[in-house]
Each structure stands twice: as C-alpha cells, then as structure tokens.
Amino acid sequence: MNIPKLKKIKSEKKYHDITLIDDYSWVDQPNILEVLKDSSKLLPDVRKYIDENNKLTKDYFVDIKNFQKKLFDEIKSKIKLNDTSLKFKDKKYFYWVKTEAQGNYGKRIRQLIDGSKPEEIYFDGDIEKKKSGSEYFGLGNVSVSPCDEFMAYSLDLKGSEYYTIYIRNLSTNKNEKDLIENTSGNVTWALDSKSFFYSKLDKFHRPRKIYQHILGTKIENDILIFEENDETFTCGISLSSDEKYFIISTSDHITTEEYFFSSSLKSLKPILFKKREKDVRYSLDTWNDYFYVHTNKDARDYKILRSKINDKDKLEEFIPSKKETVIGGLEFLDNYIIRGEKADAISKIFVRDIKTNLEQEIKISDEVIGSPSISLKQKNTNTTKIRVGWESLSTPGKVYEYDILTKEKKLVKEVEIPSGHNPEKYIVERIKAKSHDGRMIPISLIRLKNSRQDGKSKVLLYAYGAYKHSIDPSFSASRFCLVDRGITFAIAHIRGGGDLGDVWHEEGKMKLKKNTFLDYVACANHLIEQRYTYKGGICFYGGSAGGLTGGALANMAPELFFSMLLLVPFVDTMTTMLNEKLPLTPSEWELWGNPIKSKEYFEYILSYSPYNNISNKDYPPMLITTSLFDNRVLYSEPVKYIAKLRDLKNDQNIQLLKCKTEAAGHGGMSGRDNAIEELSEEYSFILKNANIEN
C-alpha cells in the first residue's frame, strides 16, 4: 500500500523551561475555526494528505465491500423502519413522532385532542432536509409555541454546531422573516408566545449571552437579558417545571450559578439564586411554591434541598445524600414526586407521595442489570399515571403505563426487532476487576449463552471515562452483529466517568487522569485472567474523550489489542489545552488542568497525551475517524496523530485515517442510512481484523 506522507516543519516551543518539539504543529493553522465554516480555508497540503488517506481507507475496504453491504442490510433489518412513538397529551394537541422506511429524518405529528381535525405533520425532516440543499442536516431544536400557532426550529447544515433559528407560522406553513444565525440551537418560548429566548455564540463558539427575540422585530433589536463575563463559563435558559419561572444556568464543568425571573415577564432582570462557589454545582426548579435545589454542596453525589419561594435562603434538606449513591433530579405530579438514583452503576427509580412523604421504589423488571427510565404521558399533572421503561444489554426497550396508586403496569410500547431477537440466547453479567490502587471496577458484558469461557474468544471492550458521563448497560440491536458472531461485548465502567458517582469522576481527572487508563488495563487483564479472552484478543472501541483513553492505551499496552477504533479522538490533548482560543479549552481546564499556568499540569498532561507519547513500538491495527467540521475535537488532532504514528511505529499493521470532508459533525454524518453505513464500516473493520468475515 502507498502510505501517505505529511510534510514536516520542525517547531520548538518552550513552556515552563520545557521544550515541546512538534513536526506537525503547522497543521494547527491559526484560522482553524474558520475552516469549520468554510473548508476552502483548509491548508492545501492538509487537504491533499486527508484526500490520500481517505483513498487509502477506501482501498483497504474494497475486498470486503460485499461484507459491509451484508452488515448494512443486517443492521437495518434489526430496525423497525415504520414506527410511531407514544403520544404525549399536551393542552390542546397530542404530539408524537413517526419514522418511515423511505425516510431518514422522521416526522413530527400532532392532532387536536378532541379529534375534530385530522392529524397534521408539522415538521417533516426529510422534506426540510431536501429544502435545505445540504448534505448534512443537523436538527438542533423543534419547539412549538404555547399558543400552538408557531414553531421555532434550528438547523446546523455543516456539522460545526453553528445553529440558525427559523420561525414558522403553522397556520400558513410558511416561515416568518425572523432568522437568527450563530446560536447554540436551543429555543425557549415565553408563555405568551410573542417572544422566545436563545443563546448567541461568541467568536470562540461559546454561548455566553442570552437574548429575548420578539416575533416580527429586527434581530439587531433583540434584548440582551444575561451575559456571562467569565470565558470559562457558558450559559443557557429553560422553563421551570411549574412554568412560573425562567431559569438561567451558567457553569463550567465543576461550578454552577443560577438565576431566575418570572415567566410573566413583568421584569427581565434575572435574580441570582446562590452565588457561585468553586466546585459546587446546583440546579434549580420550582413547584408548588417551593424552590427545589439539586446540589453537590457537602454531598459529592448530590442531595436535594428546598425552600419556600419567598424565603430562598432558608433551605431545608428534602432528599439527603447517600454514601456511594448518585441522587438524581425530580419529576413532579400534583401528588407525587419521582426521582432516580444510581449505586454501583445500577439505576433505580423512586416515587414519593407528597401527602404522606413516603417513598417506594418502582420495580420495573426482574433483571438486575439494566437501564430504567420514566417519562410523563401528559401535560396535566393531576394524574397517577406515568410511563416507565426498561431495557438491558439483552432485552429490547419496553415502555409501560404505570399507575402509582394501584402499582398496575400495562405494556404500551416495545422495541421490535423485525429480523427477530431472543434474549434467552445470551448471558448478561456484571463482574469486577481490581485496579492498580485496589479500586474494584465494574464490567458489564453480554455474550452468547453457548460460548465457551476457554480463553479463545474475542472481546470488544468499550470505554469512555470522562466528564462524569455514565455508560448505561442498555440495549443496542446493531451490537448483535458482533455478539452473534462470537464476540463478547463489554463495558468498562472506568473512573473519570460517573457510573459510581462524583468520587468516581474525581479519581479520573486532573492529576488522577491516568487512573482512567489503568482501570481499563485492569479490566482487560481481568477478562483475560477469567478466560473470557486472551492477550491480543481485545478490540478497543471509543470516541471523543474515549478516543483519548484509546490513544493512551495504544501507547501503554498495545499488546492487549487485535484492533482499535478511535472515533473523533481527543488525541492531541496538550496542543488543545494550550490553545485558549479554541471553543472548549478554557472550560476544560477544570477537568484536565491548565498547562499554560501550571508546570505541574503541563508535565502531567505531557506524560499521557497520546500524540506526545507515540514511540518506536508495535501498534495494533487502527481505524481513526474525524471530520473537517467537528468543533469539539478538531480534525487537526487525528491528522497529526496518524502522521506521527506512522513515523515512529515498528509494526507492519494498517492504521487508517478517515476524515469526512463533506458536511459532518462530532457524531458523524446525519441521517439514519448514513449512520448505519458508518456503523457497518466500523464493524467490518473489527470483524476483518478478528478474521470473521461471514
């Protein structure tokens, strides 16, 4: 194969008396944010290198194109293409969503509750995509006004998450002149339907200003109601559960500050609830004359406080904290409060009778390992009925109508697998691996019941490990393309994520970030020791910050893997953390440390940053993906990474780079078929390197 070469221009920059040498720093062009909007501004040499790599990747897959097509058809056969969601009963209308076999984007439908008129499609994703004239169709928000006469929707047509807001009159089905560019995409309507609130992106792609737009007026006359002056904070706005207040939340990754003002709009001057305190997060809601505060102050895994609206400083404990248990937020009915909590990476749902203050768990399934959920079925909260859901690694999602009073549940929706699915064919397990410091790391896994635990099988071990993000043991129909071919699918609930609460997150960030990688190694070795697999029998699969985990592991323990998929990976951690002009960097310092100000953090990030630690050793086969329009992890990171990897590695394995030059975002291309095509390509890479091609 003709492996592309990227030109080298040696750069030496000194930080804290340490010289950082980089042959490819020129790829980080100063106007890189402009490329997100206009790819013609990409450096010609980088464009050439990307095109050559895309051709190499395409050529690699030529001999298994038929197999990819088989996987595409197989994945699609597992999806009910003509499907309808459950209806939500609003004030005047039922609202629901419908997908069709011939479409990719779905339809939003409503009908008057009294049935006096036929149902109407008020937003057709496929029609709107065609009208946009864009290959990429990123839908940010679709929101119908409280009066049911207007619809606000936002679109990103490149993948760079610059959203434009449009307004449509639903009576005429025509757009108004109101058009607002460069927003975060979210729209929050005023209750009188005469205006709405939105966040504007600054020149660094950060939402730090909130405006009110009055329908029919010029955008330049929009009213600024809030501005965040700290460049590490970003803000948004929402409506409280009882719709009596608008809540403005401004935060970085570890600290929150919230403001409120009346939804009657008598005053647009936001009132501070509690002044920000470093490392204290809280969220505010209102219900029945109370403020409810979900906070981690003196409760790392959260507790819930409340106070009377007219006495906000007199807070009392409503839901206390629990050791090693994450306390979730609240949903309100007139007579009940519903909440979730998670312990040992297992979620539960509870309902509280407001009159008696007694609380009970809602038991949905006899399965121990799974993912429960709840949702309201109607706008009117004077009810005892809600919807509860359950899914697991082996069981497709089920939704029940649940009566809180009688505890009766009725199945109202079940995910159908048209090609068939039998949960009894599989074993779901939860095991634990001891990490380097004694911490026990949970692993959730699913495998064929008839598979032998003889140390000969291959394992896909998925991981993320950042941002306090939890990976639920939920159902994925497409995953069985691998499991049914004998590959065990496993989730490593490593630190840095939030599966076991805030401490789990704290122990995998800043100066403890390496715990994330060491936890994964411990999980991999445990699976080997317990004969689920063997050294060299593991596939790493992860994206974004999970790609950082994979990149670090490729340097630390490449011998574990038969293949690695690094999807939009955060692999040039040091360069990104040194560039305060990038969209996310300032707020990220609270997670990774600030290498600009601190020599200690500079040295620590340098010690694990995947790009900076590539060395002369054997690396496994890799598939690395990126997009020119991704503003979260810039294309420059994987481009530089693959170039340096090929310079230094000793092996003869194939490491591929696929960079989307057409419109695509952090999550890939838009549309159902495009998503399936990307997945079938990823699966074909895994199976080809596992020597399974049937």
Pairwise CA distance, residues 620 & 659, whole Å:
20
Give the model's pLDDT for residue 670: 77
Q: Which of 30-34, 355-359, 602-606 has the lowest mean pLDDT?
A: 30-34
| Residue 439 to residue 449: CA distance in whole angstroms | 29
User: Residue 667: is its pLDDT beyond 90?
Assistant: no
My answer on whether 312 and 326 are in the same domain is no
**What is the CATH classification number for the domain harbouring 516?**
3.40.50.1820
> What value does the mean pLDDT take over residues 361-373?
92
Confidence of residue 346 (pLDDT cuts 50, 70, 90): confident
* Gyration radius of the chain's alpha carbons: 26
Which of 416, 451, 479 is a domain's end point? 416
The reply to whether 252 and 368 lie within a common domain is no
CATH code, 232: 2.130.10.120
Looking at every residue in the chain, the average pLDDT score rounds to: 95
pLDDT of 106 reads: 94
pLDDT for 668 equals 72
pLDDT in tens, 549-575: 999 999 999 999 999 999 999 999 999
pLDDT at 58: 96
Domain termination site, one of 490, 520, 550: 520
- Given a cut of 90, whether residue 669 has pLDDT beyond it is no
Looking at the structure, do residues 502 and 382 belong to the same domain, yes or no?
no
In angstroms, rounded to a whole number, what is the distance separating the alpha carbons of residues 578 and 644?
19
pLDDT on residue 36 = 80
- Give how many domains the chain has, as a whole number: 4
Question: Hey, is 314 helix, strand or coil?
Answer: coil
**Banded pLDDT at 193 (limits 50, 70, 90):** very high
Judge whether 527 lies within some domain: no
Q: How many CB atoms lie within 10 A of CB 615?
A: 10
* Contact predicate 593/605, CB 8 Å: yes
* pLDDT value of position 661: 86
Mean pLDDT, residues 589-594 taken together? 93
Residue 294 falls inside a structural domain: yes
Of the listed ranges 233-237, 338-342, 487-491, 500-504, the least confidently predicted one is 500-504
- Of the pLDDT bands very low, low, confident and very high (cuts 50, 70, 90), residue 344 is confident
Whether 525 is in a domain gets the answer: no
314 and 333 co-located in one domain: no
Same domain, 13 and 140: no
Same domain, 92 and 53: no
pLDDT of residue 70: 96
Report the pLDDT value the prediction gives residue 35, as an integer from 0 to 100.
85
Of 400, 416, 432, the residue that ends a domain is: 416
Q: How confident is the model at residue 14 (pLDDT cuts 50, 70, 90)?
A: very high
Rounded distance between C-alpha atoms, residue 530 and residue 518, angstroms: 18
Mean pLDDT of 95-107: 94
Q: Please, are residues 611 and 637 in contact by the beta-carbon 8 Å criterion?
A: yes
pLDDT at 160 over 90: no
Nearby residues of 331 by Cβ (< 8 Å), 6 or more positions away: 241, 337, 338, 339, 374, 376, 386
Percent of the chain with pLDDT over 70: 100
Express each pLDDT in 493-521 by its tens digit.
999 999 998 899 999 999 999 999 999 99
Average pLDDT (224-252) is: 96
Contact 49, 658 (CB under 8 A): no
- At 323 the pLDDT is 85
Contact 513, 497 (CB under 8 A): no
Does 450 share its domain with 556?
A: no
CB 432 within 8 A of CB 440: yes
Nearest to 306 by CA among 321, 316, 295: 316
pLDDT at 666 over 80: no
Domain that holds residue 113: 82-319
Q: Are strands 561-567 and 538-543 parallel, antiparallel or unpaired?
A: parallel
